A and B are shown apart, each in its own frame.
Chain A
Amino acid sequence: MGEPMILKADLYREHGFLKGLYLGLKITMMTMIRNLFKHDRMTLNYPEEKYFYSDRFRGKHVLTVKEDGTLRCTSCMLCATYCPAQCIHIVAADDSDKSVEKAPVSFEIEMLRCIFCGYCEEACPVDAIRLTNEYEMSGHAEQEWVADHYELAFRKSLNNGKGVVSTVDDKDRMKLRL
């Protein structure tokens, strides 16, 4: 936060306000001139037209799956621990597959509490949770705002319900085992 302020102050000190004014107006004028001759609108006809956010956008969460289609999440609870809004609720249990050992039986995110900070994604050691660029999350009742793991992993918008496959961890593990 502090850095650009200092830069601005320096600019002001060295060149007076005129240079800043010039720079600002230059951008404005250039945009104006461009818009005079190019006919692209700044607005969209939502919802018919949709804005496509970059992949870095922090929208609705997705739980990734392994190649066999099971959840990648090992329910280590690090996301739940890290979550500043405390909106992630995981119930873990033994997995029948001994190499997996621990898997969630329920994974819920309270969407109304979530602040989309992306900490869960950062905390996850196995690339099991990601924030997508999906931003449409409207609902009618309180119930709809608690996303369970079917919703998070296998909703229609994700590969037609097949989920997002992540293999990052597998490769790492393979490297270790060789």
Chain B
Amino acid sequence: MTEKVKLTWNGKEIEAPKGSNLLKAALDNGIEVAHYCYHSGLSVAGVCRMCMVEQDGVPRPFPSCNATCGEGMVIRSDTPKIKASVEATLQFHLLNHPLDCPVCDQAGECGLQDYYMKHGQYDSQMIDKKVHKEKVQDIGKNVMLDAERCILCSRCVRFTEEITKTNEMGILNRGDHAEIQCNETLKNDYAQNLVDICPVGALTSKDFRFKQRVWFLEDVHTTCIGCETGCSVKVSENKNGAFRVKPVYDHEVNGHWMCDDGRYIYKHVSSPTRLGGAVENINGLFVPADELNVQAAVKGKKTKYILSTALTIEEYANFFNAVKGKNVEVALYTLPSDGPEFDGILRRGDKNPNLRGAKAAFELAGFDHSQAGLDNLLGSISSSDAVFVVVPEILYNEDHFNTLIKKVEKAGVRIALACGETLGTLRAFNYLLPIPAFLEKNGEILNYQGQARKLRKGMTYGEASKDVSYYGKWVNL
């Protein structure tokens, strides 16, 4: 534990580790300080000049992002001098800003709008010609760049330099002609973070582009189920569907960032082709069916379950409670790893979000979770069997899943439990039954560290009440 020091900020006593960043100390203690270029996950640039503060005994105001905490410092950010300087600096930020808020996706969560309402509210005296730069540039990886809206805080440059070390972004030219440019296209797997760290609308997401205004959205703080890292994320959604995924700061797992793959985990949840109720496969056509028909088909068959690794600990527990003491075979299907084991930042090759939770639950219930267990189950399938396969929520590797389906084909009744779209691969099944998606259930998963990560329930777009344990009760009907 580092030494803590006490300092006073606008008369409020706050505590911070000695030598830590002064601005961070204020932000951590809930003091609102205007800033653009400072980001606690990146190095200090000190160029936006918004976080100026005065200290007793120091003649000139200085930016708090480039100062460190010391014992007994008396800092003020509410003096008339500072207020005037923040207002003036904000005015400089907005001078050449195009003010195309009506067409800008950032509107509603834009630093310029927020601070104008808080610290600005002046009458603009800018009647001169603005500096124009290139708009609407697609710089790859679903990121759109608008150089004109940029306030040159250099966060994106520092991100590609320090975090991904791919150096795609740079600031060319100087003076007010300086503009952000991308060297060819973005090539890193964390490019969408640029959209998050951009305090204005210069970098926006092409995936989210013009889909919704942010004030129509509500955030659900949940966990990414894209891989075993289990990044803390928030999904923005409303009654029309889920629209985007953004990381939430979590110092134990993901810090400030998340990878690009995780950005698309919301897609199946509110997809128009999502499975809404039980369907029957009649000669390759999926036709709505009654659940009782499915039950009738299963009746008298020996039931076998192949679970996926994307279920919550609670779902596993409830499922094993439901099948406890019954003559049933259960195996675990794990997705093969995709890419290197760990890319050095966040992304892990193991795409099974709750592998550890699943294994623990299997062991507790006395089932075999190994590949051998799965092979045994697959090997013993006969036409007198009813096989329930839980389709992995994020199906990275369809080919690998197809090989599983091939082996299931011998079974008399094949039932897929799916929460996503009705994929072509699922034609091999007789029935499809809906289960809730990750955004429609509360629960926990264990990530690669063995840490419990919370899934939280947001809005419901499909059948969310019947989870795996509900179908677990259909054993040996």
Is chain B a partner of chain A in the same complex? yes
Residues on A lying within 8 angstroms of B by beta carbon are: 74-78, 81, 92-94, 98-102, 125-126, 175-178
Q: Contact flags (1/0) for B101-133 with A, using CB distance below 8 Å?
A: 111000100000000000000000001011010
- Please measure, in the bound complex, the distance between the C-alpha atom of A81 and the C-alpha atom of B130, giving whole angstroms: 30
Task: Identify which of B129, B209, B213 contacts A177 (C-beta below 8 A).
Answer: B129
- A177 to B, closest residue via Cβ: B129
Is B287 on the interface with A (CB-CB < 8 A)?
no
A102 lies within 8 A of B101 (CB): no
Query: Are B103 and A101 neighbours in the complex by a CB distance under 8 Å?
Result: yes
Contact at A77–B213, with CB atoms within 8 Å?
A: yes
Flag if B130 contacts A101 (CB, 8 Å). no
Main SS class of interface, B? loop
B213 touches A102 (CB 8 A): no
Chain B residues within 8 Å of A, Cβ to Cβ = 100-103, 107, 127, 129-130, 132, 135-136, 209-211, 213, 215-216
Residues of B within 8 A of A81 (CB): 213, 215-216
How far, in angstroms, from A76 to B213 measured CA to CA in the complex? 8
- Which of chain B's residues has its CB closest to A95's CB? B103
A126 touches B102 (CB 8 A): yes
Q: How far is the CA of A78 from the CA of B108 in the complex (A)?
A: 11
In the bound complex, CA of A23 to CA of B407 (Å): 96
B129 touches A178 (CB 8 A): yes
Q: Which residues of B contact A175 (CB under 8 A)?
A: 127
Q: Which of B103, B130, B211 contacts A74 (CB 8 A)?
A: B103
CA distance A93 to B213 in the complex (A): 12
CA distance A126 to B100 in the complex (A): 11
A76 contacts B136, C-beta separation under 8 Å: no
Is B135 within 8 A of A76, CB to CB? no
Given contacts A81-B215, A98-B135, A101-B136, contact A93 B210 (CB under 8 A): yes
B209 pairs with A94, CB closer than 8 A = yes
A78 to B102 Cα, complex, angstroms? 8
Q: Are B130 and A76 in contact (CB under 8 A)?
A: no
Residues of B within 8 A of A177 (CB): 129-130, 132
CB within 8 Å for A101 and B213 given contacts A176-B130, A177-B129, A177-B130: no
B210 partner residues in chain A, CB cutoff 8 A = 75, 92-94, 102
Residues of B within 8 A of A93 (CB): 210
A residues in contact with B215, CB < 8 Å: 81
Select the residue from B130, B210, B215 with max chain A CB neighbours within 10 A.
B210
Chain A residue with Cβ nearest B126: A176
Most chain A CB atoms below 10 A, which of B103, B130, B209: B103
Q: How far is the CA of A94 from the CA of B137 in the complex (A)?
A: 12
Q: How far is the CB of A106 from chain B (nearest CB, A)?
A: 12
Query: Within the assembled complex, what's the spacing in Å between the Cα atoms of A27 and B468?
Result: 79
Nearest residue, chain A, Cβ from B215: A81
A98 to B215, CA, bound (A): 25
**With a CB–CB cut-off of 8 A, which chain B residues contact A178?**
129
**Are A74 and B135 in contact, CB atoms less than 8 angstroms apart?**
no
A92 to B136, alpha carbons, bound, how many Å?
Answer: 16
* In the bound complex, CA of A176 to CA of B99 (Å): 11
Give Cα A77–Cα B102 distance, bound, in whole angstroms: 8
- With A81-B215, A93-B210, A101-B103 already in contact, 15 other A-B pairs whose C-beta atoms are closer than 8 Å: A74-B102, A76-B107, A76-B213, A77-B213, A78-B102, A81-B213, A81-B216, A94-B209, A101-B100, A101-B136, A102-B102, A102-B103, A126-B102, A175-B127, A177-B132
Q: Which residues of A contact B102 (CB under 8 A)?
A: 74, 76, 78, 102, 125-126
Most A-side CB within 10 Å, residue of B102, B103, B130, B216: B102
Q: Are A76 and B129 in contact (CB under 8 A)?
A: no
Q: How far is the CA of A30 from the CA of B127 in the complex (A)?
A: 55
Complex: A100 Cα to B130 Cα, angstroms: 18
| Other-chain residue from B127, B136, B209 in contact with A98 (beta carbon distance below 8 A) | B136
Nearest Cβ distance between residue A178 and chain B, in whole angstroms? 5
Residues in A whose Cβ lies below 8 Å from that of B129 = 176-178
Most buried by B among A92, A100, A126, A178: A92
Contacts of A99 in B (CB 8 A): 135
Across-interface contacts of A94 in B (CB, < 8 A) = 209-210
Nearest Cβ on chain A to B142's Cβ, whole angstroms = 13
* B-chain residues with CB within 8 Å of residue A126 when the two chains form the complex: 102
Complex Cα gap A126–B103 (Å): 11
Residues of A within 8 A of B101 (CB): 76, 125
Return chain A residues, CB-CB under 8 Å to B103: 74-76, 100-102
Q: With A and B bound together, what is the CA distance between A176 and B148 in angstroms? A: 14
A-B contact pairs, 5 of them (CB 8 A): A76-B101, A76-B102, A81-B216, A92-B211, A101-B100
Closest to B107 in A: A76
Q: Which residues of A contact B209 (CB under 8 A)?
A: 94
> Given the complex of chains A and B, what is the CA–CA distance between A3 and B226 in angstroms?
63
- In the complex, how many angstroms separate the beta carbon of B280 from the nearest chain A beta carbon? 33
Q: Which 8 A-B pairs have the closest CB atoms?
A: A76-B102, A102-B103, A92-B210, A77-B213, A98-B136, A74-B102, A101-B103, A74-B103
Distance, CA A92 to CA B104, complexed state (A): 12
Neighbouring B residues of A100 by C-beta, 8 Å:
103
- A116 to B132 Cα, complex, angstroms: 39
With both beta carbons as reference points, the residue of chain A lying nearest to B129 in the complex is identified as A178
A125–B210 CA distance with the chains assembled, in angstroms: 17
Shortest beta-carbon distance, B105 to chain A, in Å?
9
Chain A residues with CB under 8 Å of B100's CB are 101
Considering the chains assembled together, what is the distance between the CA atoms of A75 and B135 in angstroms? 18
A12 to B103, CA, bound (A): 56
CB distance from A149 to the nearest CB of B (A): 16
Among A99, A102, A177, which residue has the most Cβ atoms of chain B within 10 A?
A: A102
* Selected contact of A101 from candidates B127, B132, B135, B216, CB within 8 Å: B135
CA distance A98 to B147 in the complex (A): 13
CB distance from B147 to the nearest CB of A (A): 12
